[in-house]
Amino acid sequence: MIMARSALPDNPIIMQAFYWEMGTGGYAEHFPEEKNLWELLSARASELGRWGITSVWIPPAHKGMGGTHDVGYSSYDLYDLGEFDQQNTVRTKYGTKDQLHAAVDALHKAGIAVYYDAVLNHLMGGDETETVTISTRSPTLPGKEADVWSRFRFPGRQGRYSDFQWHWWHFNGTDYDHRTGQTGVLLFKDKNWDATCHQSDSYLMGMDYDYEHPETQAELIRWGTWLVDTLGVDGFRIDALKHLGCLFINTWVDRVQEETHQRLFFVGEAWLNDAQELRQYFDAVASEQMYVFDFPLRETFRQLSDDPLFSMRSLVSAGLVNQPGYGKRAVTFVENHDTQRDGEYPGLHRYKYHAYAYILLRERGLPKIFWKDLYAYGMREEVCRLMEARQRFAYGPGYEVADACDDNVYAYVREGLPREPDTGCVMLLAKESDQDTVKRWLPTGRPHRDYMDWTGNQEYTVTTDEHGWGEFAVSCSAADGWSVCVPR
């Protein structure tokens, strides 16, 4: 197997290579190739590499309780990657294990790292029930007995890769009593919810892992190490981070890293829209290898999309990415499988290209783009131009030009590399207004150079003066109100 580079390259870009409805509903009619994601990734690996994608986040590839209909978050058997007849299917929603291996190999050959979506909060779809006593502190059925689906034998796998079997004592609680049909939060006797940074978020769903149980810890660490060794993944996206015990996550990251020869990448999903809260959580999950998704920045993009009174000055300090000491480990994004889901979460309806320009061209932050935007929503051409601008021009120190940022316009400059005169760029983002265009005098650090708008939204040439300043323009329109000027 060809291993991808373990260190982050210059100007890296992550691609989330799936979305919630992939291969189902109306999308199955218009994109039939998405019914087998692994084969599709094999076919498109070279294309993604040419676009400048340096890593791909794949969905949970293990067998879920829902079989071929399971997106992967209702985890049943972490070791079944589409190989065994379990939950009424051999393949997962995305294909078979052999097809998954082929996809990882193809991505590696294209120089693209692969990040696996690790669901470390729960199991679901147990093979048998066990009788447990519910804690008197439980909000549901306190002090009573319940029959819960806590026995996981994995009969289809028959002990291959791991002979470990799960019992009720490996979990803290669940949400369903089979005996009475009662639903709710059921905490088991003599158990406690694991210490998270937000105790109100301790329980999420399914059979909740007890991270204090040594057998639970050992098996999850064993699985993470097995996945790196077997599949050759280069890192992990950790699901539902704020519901997981902080101490265990630090241990899991460190132990899985210790067991492999390559430098792994870890990014956690802590859905906290307040930058201060996310910063505190980031400090609690103390592993130096951990990145986090910048949900506060994405919340700012939502406000830009929804609020006509939004001030573009807010982009100067928005998100975790602009917090001193945190920006380099913030994964910035515009949409994901949760924020943009049909019928439930519509996503950003305005200024989405503005948001992509912001995350792709600034100095701080590791940008992630979304498969659904490029392929299902038809944004591929424009986003690919922005990705190419990132690869070719977005180098050197970056900064906002304070005098040029106001309620309607955001201005940002990348100086470029000293010995690379064709690098550097000037970005302007504008809201809709009564004006057709606005202009701003901005410094480039490149005297007597001609600049053109790489996006094609402005058809003009800017020639900088002897001090490297030039007058740059941007349209005041949601449709094309972003401009990225680069050395001609």
Which CATH number goes with the domain that contains 468? Answer: 2.60.40.1180
The one-character DSSP state at 63 is: E
* 5 lies in some domain: no
* 457 lies in some domain: yes
Q: From CA 319, how far away is CA 300, in angstroms rounded?
A: 7
Q: CA nearest 260: which of 287, 289, 300, 224?
A: 224
What are the tokens at 69? Answer: 């209909």
Same domain, 166 and 224: no
Same domain, 102 and 228: yes
- Which domain-ending residue is among 209, 227, 243? 209
Secondary structure (3-state) at 191: coil
Averages of pLDDT over runs of 10 residues in the chain (488 residues) are 51 97 94 97 97 97 97 98 98 98 98 98 98 97 98 98 98 98 97 79 92 97 97 97 90 95 94 92 82 97 97 98 94 97 89 98 98 96 97 96 96 96 97 94 96 96 97 94 96
Report the domain count for the chain. 3
Burial class (CB in 10 A: 0-12, 13-18, 19+), 341: middle
Give yes or no: 420 in active site: no
Continuous segment of H or E residues that includes residue 382: helix 380-392
The one-character DSSP state at 46 is: H
Same domain, 162 and 271: no
pTM of structure:
0.96
- Which domain-ending residue is among 371, 392, 413? 392
pLDDT of residue 6: 44
pLDDT of residue 57: 98
* 155 lies in some domain: yes
* 387 lies in some domain: yes
Taking residue 206's Cβ as centre, other Cβ atoms within 10 Å add up to 24
Domain hosting residue 415, numbered range: 398-487
Same domain, 284 and 368: yes
pLDDT of residue 151: 98
pLDDT of residue 486: 98
Give yes or no: 269 in active site: yes
The one-character DSSP state at 305 is: H
Give the DSSP per-residue string, 403-425. GG--SSEEEEEE--BTTBTT--E
* 2 lies in some domain: no
Secondary structure (3-state) at 9: coil
Same domain, 235 and 334: yes
Helix axes 275-284, 295-306, angle to 10 degrees: 160
Same domain, 309 and 229: yes
Same domain, 241 and 383: yes
Cα-Cα-Cα-Cα dihedral of 447, 449, 454, 458, to 10°? Answer: 90
Strand partners, 400: 412
Catalytic residue among 239, 335, 415, 453: 239
Asked if residue 132 lies in contact with residue 173, where contact means CB atoms within 8 angstroms, the answer is no
Which CATH number goes with the domain that contains 259? Answer: 3.20.20.80
Taking residue 313's Cβ as centre, other Cβ atoms within 10 Å add up to 16
Which CATH number goes with the domain that contains 181? Answer: 2.40.30.140
* 6 lies in some domain: no
Secondary structure (3-state) at 146: strand
Asked if residue 74 lies in contact with residue 59, where contact means CB atoms within 8 angstroms, the answer is no
Q: From CA 482, how far away is CA 267, in angstroms rounded?
A: 29
Catalytic residue among 194, 208, 269, 415: 269
* 133 lies in some domain: yes
pLDDT of residue 198: 64
Same domain, 481 and 455: yes
Phi, psi for 414 (deg, rounded to 5): -110, 125
What are the tokens at 52? Answer: 């400048």
Continuous segment of H or E residues that includes residue 47: helix 37-51
Block residue for tokens 């294909």: 95
Same domain, 97 and 109: yes
- Which domain-ending residue is among 348, 372, 392? 392
Q: From CA 318, how far away is CA 365, in angstroms rounded?
A: 12
How big is the CA angle at 79 (ends 234 and 242), to the nearest 5 degrees?
A: 65
Q: CA nearest 338: which of 378, 300, 370, 385?
A: 370
Same domain, 410 and 481: yes
Asked if residue 242 lies in contact with residue 271, where contact means CB atoms within 8 angstroms, the answer is yes
pLDDT of residue 133: 98
Same domain, 354 and 242: yes
How big is the CA angle at 313 (ends 307 and 314), to the nearest 5 degrees?
A: 60
- Polymer length in residues for the chain: 488
Secondary structure (3-state) at 227: helix
Please provide the distance, in angstroms rounded to a whole number, between the alpha carbons at the two ends of the chain: 41
Q: From CA 148, how far away is CA 126, in angstroms rounded?
A: 9
* 1 lies in some domain: no
What are the tokens at 446? Answer: 């490149």
Asked if residue 209 lies in contact with residue 216, where contact means CB atoms within 8 angstroms, the answer is yes
pLDDT of residue 5: 41
Q: Taking the CA of residue 40 as centre, how many other CA atoms within 13 Å lie in the half-sphere pointing to its CB?
A: 18
Give the DSSP per-residue string, 65-87. TTGGG--S-SEEETT-SS-S-BT
Same domain, 43 and 132: no
What are the tokens at 6? Answer: 């373990």
pLDDT of residue 329: 92
The one-character DSSP state at 378 is: S
pLDDT of residue 2: 36
